[in-house]
Structure 1
Amino acid sequence: MNPTGYPQGHALLIGVANYQKISRLPTAILNDVNDVAATLSSPNYCAYAPTNVVTLLDENATRAAILKGLDELATRAGPEDTACVFFSGHGGVVGSPGNEDSVLATVDSDLADIENTSISSDVLAAALSQIKAKRLLVFIDACHAGGAAISKSLSDGKGHELKSGYSPNTFAKLAVGSGRALMASCRADEVSAVFDGARNSVFTTALLAGLRGAADKSASGFIRVFDLFNYVSEEVPKLIPDNQHPIFKADNLEGNFAVALSQGGKKSLLSLGTTVMAQEEDSWSVLEKLLVELYPFGPRDQEVWSRAGGDLSRLQFHSTGLATWHGALRTLKQGGGGKGINFGSLLRIAKEDFPNHPQLVAVQEP
């Protein structure tokens, strides 16, 4: 147990399953919030102060209560703190094709007046912008599959329907700002799975394992943002192959910031894998740091990705080289990024470009 914990961690966790006027969701959604809250506040895991972890469930997750909770989070989280916002529930798409936006459906949302009874992406983005913490991570677990036609549309049984999900523009909007990042449970054209009888959704199952230490493969004693997404994005497709792929959005991240303590701050490889696995992970981490340093504009810089046999059209580009490199290497680890590229070919090209760089020369293939 860490005697000091992680007092700089603050969280607002929201879950809605039993909507008043919209189709309901599985009980797993409420379990997700309770289990994430317990993990964050556990001295054996993330070690947040319990008073810094606020949950809003079902009848307590009204539009007014959620906005008040965000306002209170902005008040208590200072510039040097880390803030997390987690939402599990319905999301809806509004607007015309080509100009779509999204809303967060609160427990009291009414499809007959959705714009005034939900939280629009603009309102949510404005609330997030008031949070002064230099490190803010937003989790969105929506587009849930389960129940009648939930994956396609939201219904109130009175003839009103709303397309379920979130638009890609919304995700980007919510990640705007220095030190801001967003992790969503699935792509816009996918659904977030909840298996029958499962305690948690597929996304939150992986997230919980990551927060409980599995994402800290280098045994640093911290759960870091890129490492957490790396873990979740690799584990979810294992649980539901080819059907769900978490996405990550970041506008301006300057580093792989800590989200929480790992296993109470213990620097141990117990239950995190063998030493060999940690060394392999380190090879990828070291290469990523060096590529960010040597090719700061990302995989397009000096055409390094293409020269290594990669296909740039297979990559997702972000506003910073750091975030783009992180996503590119994650794709590469999963066998993507182009048929002709792999760890070895990328390393070889970098060594050809910088033959006298001592750290690069020392990197070995995992």
Structure 2
Amino acid sequence: MNQQNADDTTNQAGFIEGHALLIAVAAYPRVRALPSAVINDARDMKAVLTSSMHCGYDSSNVILLQDDDATLDRIRQELATLADRTKATDTAVIFFSGHGVRMGDSANPESALVPMDCEPANLSTTVLHEAEFSAALARIKAKRLVVFIDACHAGAAGTFKGRDGLPDLGFSEKSLDRLAQGSGRVLIASSRGSETSLIFNGAANSLFTEHLLGALRGGARTNGDGFIRIFEVFNHVAEKVRAAAPGRQHPIFKASDLEDNFPFALDRGGAKSIESSLIATRNETWRQFEEILADLYPAGPLDQEIWARAGGDISRLRLSGTGRASWFAALRTIRQGGGGHDITRKSLIQTALQDFPHHQELAQLLPNG
């Protein structure tokens, strides 16, 4: 079966190979409680993932743990169950909304997810450490694995009740980097390690999850083929969150070995846009450009100073992960009008052609005029 036929089959039957584990903890008994929006986040994620009008997941493949259900043992159990039931051809999504905590060496802290039954007096044995979480992720056979972490909320900026001198709340970016290690694994966090993940007064959801839900309900700019892909979701969420909280919250994308902008849900139930051909062609051109650059300059925009030579300002880019991930971020910046005053897609192609003058695929991408 070719890829197009496989996609059509998935559209007709729903996103039958999608699996999800959604975890939310707000009413911590021994840790400062979080707003009820945290529970709404996970419930609304389940609703949109299992909606036939949206993501198309089979409801039997989506597990929700909230408050009393989200104990350390139960989280471990459901992570193991997710690993047992997913195949290599499947897609797995893990969503956590609640407290995160940083422990150990302040220069290189280890982060952990805080379950419902966390004991502040015995912290090290009652949280899900990043090493254990990463090992659980490695056991999941699905070749497309997406982890969303919304683990530091503005409403939770205090300390644990009845305990002084505990580590900082939240997840460190070094921890996120370590969790993102692995082929096909993507980690999207609600904010940088130095920021809080905002919940505005009266809001039904956290700011991050509000716009994640918006992307999954059809708000992301897709290519109109009936699928929503991981880069499209992150683009939408990052732009919306930054616009809603200028300078205060920046979602981050982590991936160490990602070769494809893979689909992980249906787009509006698999509906195809009337303008899908034009949109798909335009997006495919950018994807082709990204693949060429990642092949020619595998270390990313710093490789052979290609970005600077094309008129760009490397300080305007936020680079991390593999060269491919860095090129994705850099080209997204160009499409948004950034990256330096003098850099454009055309100048980047022209500069690359100086290094590889006989690269016909690259030459064909050169815009007219």
Contact 1:45 1:262 in 2 (8 A): yes
Question: How far has the Cα of 1:277 moved from its partner?
Answer: 7.7
Question: How far has the Cα of 1:96 moved from its partner?
Answer: 2.6
Q: How does 1:150-189 map to 2 (within 5 A)?
A: 150-151=156-157, 153-159=158-164, 161-189=166-194
Q: CA separation in 2, counterparts of 1:341 and 1:359?
A: 17
Give the counterpart of 2:331 among 306, 329, 332: 329
Alignment partner, residue 361 of structure 1: 364
Q: How does 1:67-106 map to 2 (within 5 A)?
A: 67-106=76-115
Give the counterpart of 2:23 among 14, 33, 36: 14
Question: How far has the Cα of 1:334 moved from its partner?
Answer: 4.4
Distance 1:235 1:348, change over 3 A: farther
After the TM superposition, which of the residue ranges 345-354 and 185-194 deviates more from structure 2? 345-354
After the TM superposition, which of the residue ranges 300-309 and 334-343 deviates more from structure 2? 334-343
Give the residue type in structure 2 aligned to 1:170: S
Distance 1:342 1:111, change over 3 A: farther
Question: How far has the Cα of 1:287 moved from its partner?
Answer: 3.2
Question: How far has the Cα of 1:333 moved from its partner?
Answer: 3.8
Question: How far has the Cα of 1:216 moved from its partner?
Answer: 4.2
Unaligned runs of 5+ in 2: 1-9
Contact 1:108 1:117 in 2 (8 A): yes
Contact 1:298 1:321 in 2 (8 A): yes
Indicate yes or no: 2:307 matched with 1:305. Answer: yes
Alignment partner, residue 270 of structure 2: 265
Question: How far has the Cα of 1:51 moved from its partner?
Answer: 0.3
Contact 1:92 1:154 in 2 (8 A): no
Secondary structure of 1:178 counterpart: coil
Distance 1:21 1:345, change over 3 A: same
Give the residue type in structure 1 aligned to 2:142: A
Alignment partner, residue 293 of structure 2: 291
Alignment partner, residue 204 of structure 2: 199
Contact 2:26 2:34 in 1 (8 A): yes
Question: How far has the Cα of 1:225 moved from its partner?
Answer: 1.3
Give the counterpart of 1:223 among 220, 228, 245: 228
Alignment partner, residue 6 of structure 2: none
Alignment partner, residue 343 of structure 2: 341
Q: CA separation in 1, counterparts of 2:47 and 2:94?
A: 15
Give aligned-pair identity as a percent. 46
Alignment partner, residue 259 of structure 2: 254
After the TM superposition, which of the residue ranges 348-357 and 22-31 deviates more from structure 2? 348-357
Secondary structure of 1:56 counterpart: strand
Distance 1:27 1:181, change over 3 A: same
Q: CA separation in 2, counterparts of 1:362 and 1:124?
A: 42
Provide Cα deviations, 1:16-70, integer angstroms capped at 9, x if missing partner. 1110101111111111101111111111111011100100000100111111110
Give the counterpart of 1:32 among 41, 48, 63: 41
Q: CA separation in 1, counterparts of 2:19 and 2:149?
A: 17
Give the residue type in structure 2 aligned to 1:345: S
Q: CA separation in 1, counterparts of 2:220 and 2:346?
A: 24
Structure 1 length-normalised TM: 0.90
Q: CA separation in 1, counterparts of 2:323 and 2:60?
A: 37
Indicate yes or no: 2:53 matched with 1:44. Answer: yes
Q: CA separation in 2, counterparts of 1:8 and 1:279?
A: 27
Distance 1:92 1:335, change over 3 A: farther
Give the counterpart of 2:153 among 141, 144, 151: 144
Q: CA separation in 1, counterparts of 2:44 and 2:20?
A: 13
Alignment partner, residue 61 of structure 1: 70
After the TM superposition, which of the residue ranges 347-356 and 94-103 deviates more from structure 2? 347-356
Give the counterpart of 1:113 among 122, 126, 129: 122
Contact 1:137 1:181 in 2 (8 A): yes
Contact 2:224 2:279 in 1 (8 A): no
Contact 1:91 1:104 in 2 (8 A): yes
Structure 2 length-normalised TM: 0.89
Question: How far has the Cα of 1:158 moved from its partner?
Answer: 4.5
Provide Cα deviations, 1:294-328, integer angstroms capped at 9, x if missing partner. 43332123321111122334434444321110122
Q: CA separation in 1, counterparts of 2:121 and 2:181?
A: 31
Question: How far has the Cα of 1:212 moved from its partner?
Answer: 1.8
Alignment partner, residue 190 of structure 1: 195
Secondary structure of 1:112 counterpart: helix
Give the counterpart of 1:350 among 349, 352, 362: 352
Question: How far has the Cα of 1:159 moved from its partner?
Answer: 3.9
Q: CA separation in 1, counterparts of 2:321 and 2:198?
A: 30
Distance 1:160 1:58, change over 3 A: farther
Provide Cα deviations, 1:123-177, integer angstroms capped at 9, x if missing partner. 111111111111101000121002xxx23x4321354643111111210111111
Secondary structure of 1:181 counterpart: strand
Give the residue type in structure 2 aligned to 1:71: A
Provide Cα deviations, 1:103-127, integer angstroms capped at 9, x if missing partner. 1111111221111111111111111
Give the residue type in structure 1 aligned to 2:18: G
Question: How far has the Cα of 1:280 moved from its partner?
Answer: 6.3
Distance 1:277 1:202, change over 3 A: farther
